[in-house]
Chains A and B, each alone.
Chain A
Amino acid sequence: MSLMIDLVKPDGGAARRPYGRMLTGAALVIVLAVFPLVMSPFANLQVTLTLVYAVAILGLDILVGWTGQVSLGQSAFFGIGAYGVAVCADRGWPVWAGLLFGVVLAGVVGCLVAVPAARLRGYALGMITLTLPVVAVPLAKRLEVVTGGAQGLNVTIAEAPEWTGLAADQWHYYVVAAGAALVFALAAALRRSHFGRAFDAVRVDEALATAQGVHVTRYKVLAFTLSAVYGGFAGVLYVVAVQFISPETLILTLSISLLAGLAIGGLRSLLGCVLGAAFYVVVPNVTGEVSAGQSYLLYGVCLLAVMLLMPRGVAPALDRVVRNVAGRRGRAVAPGD
Chain B
Amino acid sequence: MAVRRETGGWGVNHGMQAFVEVRDLTLRFSGVTALEDVGFDVGGGQICGLVGPNGAGKSSLFNCVSGYYRPSAGSIRVAGQDVLGVPAHRKVRLGIARTFQHPALQPERTVLDNVLLGGHSTLPGSVLSAMLALPGGRRRERALAAEARELLALLGLAGVERTPAGDLPYGSQKRVEIARALLSRPRLLLLDEPASGLTHAEVGELGELITRIRADHDLTVIVVEHHMGLISAVTDHVVALVGGRKVAEGTAQAVQSDPVVVSAYLGVA
Contact = CB atoms under 8 A, between A and B. Distances in A.
Interface stretch (B40-48, B98-106, B221-229): B98-106
B172 A7 contact: yes
A208 B100 contact: yes
Contacts of A204: 104-107
Given A2-B205, A7-B157, A200-B106, A190 B167 contact: no
Given A3-B205, A189-B133, A211 B66 contact: yes
Interface string A1-45: 111101111110110000000000000000000000000000000
A194 B184 contact: no
Nearest to B116: A197
B141 A194 contact: yes
B169 A216 contact: no
A189 B130 contact: yes
A201 B117 contact: yes
A10 B158 CA distance: 10
Given A2-B201, A197-B117, A213 B92 contact: yes
A212 B118 contact: yes
A1 B156 contact: yes
A145 interface: no
A310 B59 CA distance: 41
B162 interface: yes
Contacts of A10: 159-160, 162-163
A194 B164 contact: no
Contact of B159 (A4, A193, A207): A4
Contacts, number: 124
Nearest to B130: A193
B92 A7 contact: no
Contacts of B157: 7
Given A3-B202, A190-B127, A11 B163 contact: yes
B164 A213 contact: no
Contacts of B100: 207-208, 211
Nearest to B91: A211
B212 interface: no
B139 interface: no
* Secondary structure call for the A interface: helix
Nearest to A13: B162
B109 interface: yes
A4 B172 CA distance: 9
A8 B168 contact: yes
A212 B121 contact: yes
A10 B160 CA distance: 5
A222 B162 contact: no
A169 B92 CA distance: 54
A150 B33 CA distance: 62
B116 to A, nearest CB: 6
Contacts of B118: 212
Given A194-B116, A195-B130, A205-B104, A7 B205 contact: no
6 contacts: A3-B205, A6-B202, A14-B162, A190-B131, A194-B123, A212-B120
Minimum-distance CB pairs A-B, first 9: A213-B121, A3-B156, A193-B130, A208-B104, A213-B92, A189-B133, A186-B131, A6-B169, A14-B162
